[in-house]
Amino acid sequence: MRSELFGTLPDGTPVHRWTLERDGVRVRVLTYGGIVQSAEVPDRSGATADVALGFPSLDGYLANPGPFLGALVGRYANRIAGGRFPLDGRIYHLAQNNGTNALHGGERGFDKRVWDADPLEHGVRLHRVSPHGEEGFPGRMEVSATYTLDEGGALRIAYEAVTDAPTVVNLTNHSYWNLGGAGSGDAAGGHEVRIAASRFTASDGDLIPTGEFTEVAGTPFDFREPRKPGLGHDRNYVLDKGVTEAPVEVAELHDPASGRTLAVATTEPGLQLYTADHFDETLPFAPGAGIALETQHFPDSPNRPRFPSTELRPGQVFRSETVYGFGTRA
């Protein structure tokens, strides 16, 4: 476990990079945005490659915030319709940074904040206070994200939060995975994806849920058996397991060329599959160069009472945990 200066923000704030190493896996995490900058893992022959898309310098993240490469997203991951939601009889207004909707916490969400860091034996705990009114969200929220490498090299991210006033919270990690190695080619066309979900949240043209659940059977969105996704995926899957106290495996990526696998286990009820269709010439990565598997509560839950609740109240503790297990297959 070690840290080093990674860069400095324009206002002079230092950003550090923490390196986690265990059982042949090396993961680097930034205090800026809680970003997973890299994840180096072996293939079936033992050759190591970085399988998480990222930038080599802080400037890359500052110049290209839109893809949220590797970032810790909050206060509310995904979209909130109209940038507004009701809570206890009051309407709260958020930044409309995705058309008329709020996306991934607003103009300056958790992905654009510098977090305090405490070292652990096999990881690092990032924490900060999100003040009342930050990006329009109510309540002073104390939040932490703990990154650890388990025995065998699995990356575990555990989130906790408490608040002094009623609020909403939905946190995720926005890493894009290419198990052939970052920058090695077309993950969407070459990887196999499996997701343990029989339904997804139907959505409109702005990716806002309609409130209905659609069966995956007979659609191009059925990943109950492994298959290559190709481009064209950006939707929230309703995981069959629902909300759980401990992480349950819900998805797997497999790169037949390298043999690398990535198993995703989570406590969350939803998973957003995104094939990076909107990557453009401003990035060193092409559309489909990485696959995001964002564990989460559902988009627009604060406006959808039928969905699992994202409300957090004083005296409660928000907890969420996701594990990324790296492996190989012959």
Per-residue pLDDT reduced to its tens digit, 126-144? 999 999 999 999 999 999 9
Average pLDDT, the chain: 98
- Number of C-beta neighbours around residue 268 at 10 A: 27
> Residue-wise over 308-319: b if at least 16 C-beta within 10 A, else e?
eebebeeeeebe
Contact yes or no for 174/292 (Cβ under 8 A): yes
The predicted structure's pLDDT at residue 4? 98
- Number of C-beta neighbours around residue 92 at 10 A: 18
Q: Which domain holds residue 29?
A: 2-328
φ, ψ of residue 222 to 5 degrees: the values are: -95, 105
**Whole-model pTM over 0.95:** yes
Residues serving a catalytic function are 174, 294
State the DSSP string of 157-217.
EEEEEEESS-EE-B-EE--EE-TT-TTSS-HHHH-EEEE-EEEEEEE-TTS-EEEEEEE-T
Instruction: Locate 121 and state its tokens.
Output: 């034996």
The predicted structure's pLDDT at residue 71? 98
Number of domains composing the chain: 1
The predicted structure's pLDDT at residue 21? 98
- pLDDT 10s digits, 202-251: 999 999 999 999 999 999 999 999 999 999 999 999 999 999 999 999 99
The predicted structure's pLDDT at residue 1? 80
CATH number for the domain spanning 316: value is 2.70.98.10
Which residue intervals of the chain are DSSP H helices?
A: 58-63, 187-190
Q: Residue 255: which of 176, 179, 160, 154 has the closest Cα?
A: 179
Residues of the chain with pLDDT under 70: none
Amino acid letter, 204 = D
Length of the chain: 330
Whole-number Å distance between alpha carbons of 37 and 70: 6
CA distance to 75, 78, 202, 204, 305, per residue, from 299 (Å): 13, 5, 11, 12, 12
Cα–chain center distance at 138: 23
